[in-house]
Structure 1
């Protein structure tokens, strides 16, 4: 992160990835601990989740005539705690990586202990932003399914070609909007940590920063989601459902390898969203005052924060 802000606006996707991958070298111990304490549990839970739910689903499907109250109760309880765990570690990982990258950018001393000390205050801001994004996703899914139902009722279901074409168009539109909202959320998360705004204000700022960089954001988000999806499919096929075709040793080796891949993908994804924030700021010629950002980060650690650090960290002289 030694590059000048003006240089970042010209970064291509390969350059963003290269810069992101190089960041952990500046503080390897800190990133190793963040990875082990936060990103590894998150990645393991994402993949191992199906290992626990698959046996319950199998029992229910194999004996549909029986009462499965106990199995359904276990499944719902497990799903509830899984979602809580996933949500918590996702926000914690985001907070830790974004804070650490920003500290390196401002030449602020970096350590795992200082990062963990800042997380409680950062987490509250990320949580509020997450709630607004969740509301947006809820509205979007509701509108989408309403539109889908209307379309199904309105089209001629006897025309197989028309039905197929309609489903493809709907699927593409759904994917495009989903990728955009995901990119909006990721960038808003970084804004929530690095600027004195969060929640709806962070989403609005994220929307403004994405202008002119939507295509780049779309490729990055789609690539991330695609890799995660591919890893999950292979894990499900080989590890979860591959008992008849693969031995226990093979499944353990493949499972461990895939968890490692997902850990790397999640770490790089968090680094990329941090770098992409600076790229967007540079593209819109919004300079970042490193002194103000340094003081803003210090506020999470309980350090004294002068009045000016509460001001939007761009165009401070305006």
Structure 2
């Protein structure tokens, strides 16, 4: 993050990746501990989840008359998994965004200061997440409606309706789903670094994404694709490969894929932080580093000047 504010807007996707990968070198101990305590549990849970649910699902599929306790066990496990997933996702986001911003403003960085800031940052991220969840709920309802239409079209063998349904479903998944994710990632950074969160952060994210939608789309799509490929290999070899691979092979492959997902998640969080600064630069919204320094200090209980402004613009705008 040694580039000037005006230079950031000219970064291409490969430049953003290079800049993101170089950030942990500025504070390797802090990023190592954040990765070990937050990002690793998150990545392990994402992959190991299928290891625990697969035996239960197999039993339920082979025995339609399975007792209600098996369904209860599955629902409880799924509920606990989702709580764990979103909690550690928000904790990881809070830690990485705060640490990157601290480095950007030359604020002293340590694992203890990052952990101390997380509780306050987490509240803001959680409120933003609730607004994103509401958007995803609306999207999923529409998506489900067109999936049902697709099934009806297949059953009726209506070629025109089938093509229309396929196109809409693909557009909804590839377009709207990825776009909402891009808004969410950017809104998460806004929630940490600016005096807004929730719907206001979503609105600010929408404004920042203008002119950079293509870049944001590619970054999020590549991240989701990488996670999808890792999950596919984990499921095929580790979860369902009992008859084709030895236990030692499955353990080694599983360990490698978990490590790979840890790297993907860490780089993804770093990229979303850098992308925020790129969008700010593109819209010529200067960042007052001293004000941002004070804002970050506010999370740690430090004195924050009443008139400090993170942006060189009216905060009421």
Residues 1:31 and 2:31 aligned together: yes
Residue 48 (structure 1) aligns with:
48
After superposition, the C-alpha distances for 1:74-97 in whole angstroms (9 at most, x for unaligned) are: 111111111110010000000000
In 2, the alpha carbon distance for the partners of 1:316 and 1:4 equals 22
Residue 237 (structure 1) aligns with:
236
Instruction: Call closer, same or farther: CA 1:254–1:110 in 2, change over 3 Å.
Output: same
Q: How does 1:1-318 map to 2 (within 5 A)?
A: 1-64=1-64, 66-149=65-148, 157-159=156-158, 161-162=159-160, 164-175=162-173, 176-309=175-308, 311=309, 313-315=311-313
Displacement after TM superposition at 1:2 (Å): 1.1
Displacement after TM superposition at 1:181 (Å): 0.2
Number of equivalent positions: 315
Please say if residues 16 and 275 of structure 2, whose CA atoms lie closer than 8 Å, have aligned partners that are also in contact.
yes
After superposition, the C-alpha distances for 1:34-88 in whole angstroms (9 at most, x for unaligned) are: 0000000000000000000000011111122x23312111111111111110010
Structure 2, unpaired ranges of 5+: none
In 2, the alpha carbon distance for the partners of 1:46 and 1:145 equals 24
Structure 2 length normalisation: TM-score? Answer: 0.95
In 1, the alpha carbon distance for the partners of 2:51 and 2:165 equals 32
Question: What is the alpha-carbon root mean square deviation over aligned residues?
Answer: 1.8
In 2, the alpha carbon distance for the partners of 1:305 and 1:86 equals 33
Q: Secondary structure at 1:308's aligned position in 2?
A: coil
Displacement after TM superposition at 1:254 (Å): 0.3
Instruction: Call closer, same or farther: CA 1:71–1:99 in 2, change over 3 Å.
Output: same
Displacement after TM superposition at 1:15 (Å): 0.2
Displacement after TM superposition at 1:147 (Å): 4.5
In 2, the alpha carbon distance for the partners of 1:204 and 1:189 equals 12
More displaced, 175-184 or 69-78?
69-78
Displacement after TM superposition at 1:315 (Å): 2.8
After superposition, the C-alpha distances for 1:237-262 in whole angstroms (9 at most, x for unaligned) are: 00000000000000000000000000
Q: Secondary structure at 1:117's aligned position in 2?
A: helix
Please say if residues 209 and 279 of structure 2, whose CA atoms lie closer than 8 Å, have aligned partners that are also in contact.
yes
In 2, the alpha carbon distance for the partners of 1:40 and 1:139 equals 31
After superposition, the C-alpha distances for 1:268-314 in whole angstroms (9 at most, x for unaligned) are: 000000000000000000000000000000000000000122x4523
In 2, the alpha carbon distance for the partners of 1:233 and 1:203 equals 31
Structure 1 length normalisation: TM-score? Answer: 0.95
After superposition, the C-alpha distances for 1:135-178 in whole angstroms (9 at most, x for unaligned) are: 1111122233334545766898223x435523430232112100
In 2, the alpha carbon distance for the partners of 1:173 and 1:266 equals 25
After superposition, the C-alpha distances for 1:186-217 in whole angstroms (9 at most, x for unaligned) are: 00000000000000000000000000000000
Please say if residues 295 and 310 of structure 2, whose CA atoms lie closer than 8 Å, have aligned partners that are also in contact.
no
In 1, the alpha carbon distance for the partners of 2:178 and 2:256 equals 27
